[in-house]
């Protein structure tokens, strides 16, 4: 932690002293494609200090020397209106330099040949920084296909800096750029800097376009024909819903068997260790805490890989902008924009990919607001908890009209989760936008493209490796800590026998160990806090253990109840009674308590993996701490209200 604070997520320390190139350009200028083509799998992600803006950096070999390439956030202007754009300005500000970010030695300015008029305005601002610059001209193939034209050499003369055309998927352009980068010390600089006054900038752009013999490309008929279908009020809506259905199914259903495989592998590994290590506690520690913990980290990898394949495809084809266009009106109600929909939808599978999906949002405030709401969506880990509690609350044959009452309650839980997530996002969007003028909404509709395999692969790799490097330690630490709490102090057979426990009955032994563990002490210690909700120390142990993963609650409760049938803990739980206190003798899992538990799990951030990934995406502990606190308070208050209400009517 300590050293990392100075250098945004720790991506920079190792690169001190190397020549730094910054890639600057508007969204859809081919910036990310170029960055991935140059750095491949050597890219690292981190965060800029203090803000929710991801930082991408990678090393590139140029013959003998190694240089650093930094992919700055996409921007249309150096007059910032968002934290992401402010970062670009801070990094490029050579005069009042912010010491927490490294100033680049040279710029690679991305210009999209098909939107050259608009792109030159940004170039005019970038040349004002006085940094050595080289223009990377992209989409010249599109320009030719749409019968536009441009004289590259004349463009270079007109703006006064080198221009290298690079076409995605063609290595020769990238090679030419490498050669140009190696010579960055001798790059031409403009004799006269472009103007700053808006009217003069327009005149400068006109003169550059005229000098470069630029002719405007035709309309992109291919894109127009595809849009006629994909944005059609009826067909477009149906295709959108189908796309989102497939998207969700992939993360939810296709990932499940892969996750099971990961789970089984670590289960097998754990047994293997247990069979070869004969010191009881060590064997349990290694197999359950360490290997189990590793398993609980890697179990997320299939979802993350699938999610980023899908997002890279949606983004790479240009469909993400269309989906956002279709959904914008709905998301605008929460103060967000259309693209936040994908993140919230992913959160129904799991908040981990959901929070990582916020990367596709261009505005830092939108990312933060979406992250604050996303964990409230009903994720798949809540499902086993809900199923257990709902089955204890209602019998299978109870009906609401023609529907099973259990089904109705489950539906309501999902619905409330979505409403809560949107409301929380709207609240945090308002909170973070206080005092700043409302940002104008605009979204470029890029022409459709065929996504590059290399770009997809690089994005998936970057996301998965960043997750493993930055989040695994948090998840592993949580698992180990909880194991210690739930299993220590150690009990010897003699002690167990003295307490009247049948040492040959594993369920009885584990129940005794758990009932007298540190976790039990914690559970008893926090009893006054949860007593108003009807939870006793045994439920508190379950809540504590669910911090590792919500579904652990079910197993822990089963263990607490010394269930003879671990697959069906509900039956033994139903008969449990409160042991002490004012309500001693009451059935522990009565309807008000179950309802309160359901509401508690709906709102509480009982998932350290989510906290960890939030820490990683926002770059500090501040936002995960705020998220955990607000959700806990919300969960407690609403669970109390629910308990009181249910107790009154039941």
Partner 1 sequence: MSRRRLASGSEVDTPTTVTLADLDRAQRAKVVGYGDEVAGSTARRFFDLGIVPGIEVTMVRRAPLRDPVIFRVGDYEIALRAAQARCIHVELVS
138 counts as binding partner 1 under rule CB under 8 A: no
598 counts as binding partner 1 under rule CB under 8 A: no
Q: Is 105:19 a contact under the CB 8 Å cutoff?
A: yes
Nearest to 23 by CA among 80, 107, 87: 107
Q: How many residues bind partner 1 (CB under 8 A)?
A: 36
User: What span, in angstroms and rounded, lies between the C-alpha atoms of 248 and 265?
Assistant: 25
207 counts as binding partner 1 under rule CB under 8 A: no
333 counts as binding partner 1 under rule CB under 8 A: no
Helical (H) or strand (E) element with 40? none
User: What span, in angstroms and rounded, lies between the C-alpha atoms of 329 and 502?
Assistant: 64
Q: Is 392:574 a contact under the CB 8 Å cutoff?
A: yes
Instruction: Considering only residues 103 through 122, tell me which ones interact with partner 1, judged by CB under 8 A.
Output: 114-118, 121-122
- SS3 state of residue 567: coil
35, 247, 325, 512: residue in contact with partner 1 (rule CB under 8 A): 325
- DSSP per residue, 261-309: HHHHHHHHHHHHHHHH--SHHHHHIIIIIIIHHHHHHHTTHHHHHHHHH
Q: Which is nearer to partner 1, 40 or 80 (CB)?
A: 80
2 counts as binding partner 1 under rule CB under 8 A: no
Backbone angles phi, psi at 438, to 5 degrees: -55, 125
Q: Which is nearer to partner 1, 439 or 584 (CB)?
A: 439
237 counts as binding partner 1 under rule CB under 8 A: yes
1, 2, 17, 79: residue in contact with partner 1 (rule CB under 8 A): 79
User: Strand pairing partners for 587?
Assistant: 577
User: What span, in angstroms and rounded, lies between the C-alpha atoms of 650 and 630?
Assistant: 29
Q: Is 122:75 a contact under the CB 8 Å cutoff?
A: yes
296 counts as binding partner 1 under rule CB under 8 A: no
- Minimum Å gap between C-beta 212 and partner 1 is 14
Q: Which is nearer to partner 1, 120 or 519 (CB)?
A: 120
User: What span, in angstroms and rounded, lies between the C-alpha atoms of 282 and 245?
Assistant: 46
217 counts as binding partner 1 under rule CB under 8 A: yes
231 counts as binding partner 1 under rule CB under 8 A: yes
236 counts as binding partner 1 under rule CB under 8 A: yes
User: What span, in angstroms and rounded, lies between the C-alpha atoms of 307 and 259?
Assistant: 14
481 counts as binding partner 1 under rule CB under 8 A: no
441 counts as binding partner 1 under rule CB under 8 A: yes
**Part of the chain binding partner 1 (CB under 8 A), chosen from 99-107, 216-224, 274-282, 610-618:** 216-224
| Residue 446 DSSP code | P
- Residue 507: CB atoms within 10 Å: 16
314 counts as binding partner 1 under rule CB under 8 A: no
Angle between helices 552-560 and 382-393 (to 10 degrees): 50
328 counts as binding partner 1 under rule CB under 8 A: yes
- Minimum Å gap between C-beta 22 and partner 1 is 19
444 counts as binding partner 1 under rule CB under 8 A: yes
216 counts as binding partner 1 under rule CB under 8 A: yes
77 counts as binding partner 1 under rule CB under 8 A: yes
185, 329, 397, 435: residue in contact with partner 1 (rule CB under 8 A): 329
440, 500, 582, 585: residue in contact with partner 1 (rule CB under 8 A): 440
- Residue 414: CB atoms within 10 Å: 16
Angle between helices 340-349 and 405-432 (to 10 degrees): 140
User: Strand pairing partners for 577?
Assistant: 587
- Minimum Å gap between C-beta 75 and partner 1 is 9
| Residue 58 DSSP code | E
| Residue 29 DSSP code | S
87 counts as binding partner 1 under rule CB under 8 A: no
21, 35, 76, 512: residue in contact with partner 1 (rule CB under 8 A): 76
3, 17, 63, 233: residue in contact with partner 1 (rule CB under 8 A): 233
434 counts as binding partner 1 under rule CB under 8 A: no
- Say which residues have a Cβ less than 8 Å from residue 273's Cβ, sequence separation at least 6: 283, 286, 287, 291
Q: Which is nearer to partner 1, 315 or 617 (CB)?
A: 315
- Minimum Å gap between C-beta 99 and partner 1 is 26
- Minimum Å gap between C-beta 324 and partner 1 is 8
Nearest to 243 by CA among 193, 295, 314: 314
- Minimum Å gap between C-beta 26 and partner 1 is 9
The CA-to-CA distance between both ends of the chain, in Å, stands at 51
The token duo for 251 is 């993360």
**Part of the chain binding partner 1 (CB under 8 A), chosen from 370-378, 423-431, 442-450, 591-599:** 442-450
Q: Which is nearer to partner 1, 77 or 565 (CB)?
A: 77
Q: Which is nearer to partner 1, 115 or 559 (CB)?
A: 115
Q: Is 96:4 a contact under the CB 8 Å cutoff?
A: no
Q: Which is nearer to partner 1, 82 or 287 (CB)?
A: 82
User: What span, in angstroms and rounded, lies between the C-alpha atoms of 520 and 539?
Assistant: 10
Nearest to 121 by CA among 187, 208, 35: 208
Q: Which is nearer to partner 1, 49 or 447 (CB)?
A: 447
Q: Is 91:23 a contact under the CB 8 Å cutoff?
A: no
- Minimum Å gap between C-beta 207 and partner 1 is 15
**Part of the chain binding partner 1 (CB under 8 A), chosen from 158-166, 435-443, 569-577, 588-596:** 435-443
Q: Which is nearer to partner 1, 186 or 198 (CB)?
A: 198
Q: Which positions touch partner 1 (CB under 8 A)?
A: 76-77, 79, 81, 114-118, 121-122, 198, 202, 216-217, 219, 227, 231, 233-234, 236-237, 321, 325-326, 328-330, 332, 437, 440-445
């Amino acid at each position: 932690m300590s050293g990392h604070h100075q250098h945004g997520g720790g991506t920079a320390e190792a690169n001190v002293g190397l020549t730094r190139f910054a890639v600057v350009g508007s969204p859809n200028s081919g910036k990310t494609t170029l960055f991935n083509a140059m750095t491949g799998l050597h890219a690292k992600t981190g965060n800029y200090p203090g803000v929710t803006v991801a930082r991408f950096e990678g090393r590139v070999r140029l013959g003998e020397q190694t240089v650093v390439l930094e992919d700055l956030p996409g921007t249309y202007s150096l007059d910032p209106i968002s934290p992401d754009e402010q970062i670009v300005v801070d990094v490029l500000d050579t005069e009042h330099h912010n010491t927490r970010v490294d100033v680049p030695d040279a710029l690679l300015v991305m210009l999209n040949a098909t939107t050259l008029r608009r792109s030159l305005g940004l170039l005019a601002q970038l040349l004002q920084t006085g940094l050595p610059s080289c223009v990377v001209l992209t989409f010249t193939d599109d320009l030719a296909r749409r019968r536009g034209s441009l004289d590259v050499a004349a463009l270079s003369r007109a703006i006064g800096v080198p221009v290298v055309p690079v076409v995605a998927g063609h290595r020769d352009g990238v090679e030419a750029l490498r050669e140009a980068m190696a010579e960055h010390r001798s790059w031409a600089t403009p004799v006269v800097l472009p103007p700053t006054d808006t009217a003069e900038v327009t005149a400068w752009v006109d003169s550059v376009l005229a000098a470069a013999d630029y002719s405007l490309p035709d309309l992109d008929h291919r894109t127009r024909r595809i849009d006629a279908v994909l944005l059609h009020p009826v067909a477009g809506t149906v295709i959108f819903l189908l796309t989102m259905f497939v998207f969700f199914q992939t993360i939810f259903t296709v990932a499940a068997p892969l996750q099971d495989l990961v789970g089984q592998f670590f289960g097998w590994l754990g047994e293997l260790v247990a069979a070869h290590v004969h010191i009881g506690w060590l064997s349990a520690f290694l197999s359950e805490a360490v290997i189990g913990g590793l398993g609980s980290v890697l179990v997320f990898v299939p979802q993350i890989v699938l999610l980023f394949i899908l997002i890279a495809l949606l983004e790479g084809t240009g469909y993400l902008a269309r989906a956002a266009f279709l959904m914008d009106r709905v998301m605008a109600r929460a103060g967000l924009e259309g693209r936040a929909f994908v993140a919230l939808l992913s959160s129904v599978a799991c908040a981990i990919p959901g929070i990582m999906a916020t990367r596709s949002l261009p505005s830092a405030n939108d990312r933060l607001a979406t992250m604050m709401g996303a964990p409230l969506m009903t994720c798949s880990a809540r499902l086993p908890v809900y199923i257990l509690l709902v089955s204890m609350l209602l019998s299978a044959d109870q009906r609401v009209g023609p529907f099973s009452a259990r089904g109705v309650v489950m539906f309501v839980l999902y619905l409330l989760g979505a409403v809560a997530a949107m409301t929380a996002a709207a609240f945090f969007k308002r909170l973070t936008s206080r005092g700043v003028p409302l940002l104008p909404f605009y979204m470029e509709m890029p022409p459709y493209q065929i996504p590059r395999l290399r770009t997809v692969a690089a994005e998936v790799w970057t996301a998965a490796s960043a997750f493993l490097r930055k989040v695994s330690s948090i998840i592993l630490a949580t698992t180990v800590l909880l194991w210690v709490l739930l299993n220590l102090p150690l009990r010897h057979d003699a002690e167990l026998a003295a307490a009247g426990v049948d040492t040959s009955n594993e369920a009885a032994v584990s129940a005794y160990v758990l009932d007298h563990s540190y976790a039990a002490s914690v559970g008893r210690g926090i009893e006054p806090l949860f007593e108003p909700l009807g939870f006793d120390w045994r439920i508190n142990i379950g809540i504590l253990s669910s911090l590792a993963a919500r579904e652990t609650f079910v197993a822990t409760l089963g263990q607490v109840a010394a269930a003879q049938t671990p697959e069906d803990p509900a039956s033994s739980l139903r008969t449990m009674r409160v042991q002490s206190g004012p309500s001693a003798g009451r059935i522990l899992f009565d309807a008000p308590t179950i309802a309160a538990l359901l509401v508690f799990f709906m709102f509480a951030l009982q998932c350290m993996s989510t906290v960890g990934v939030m820490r990683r995406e926002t770059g500090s502990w501040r936002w995960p701490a705020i998220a955990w606190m607000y959700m806990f308070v919300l969960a407690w208050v609403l669970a109390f209200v629910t308990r009181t209400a249910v107790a009154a009517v039941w």
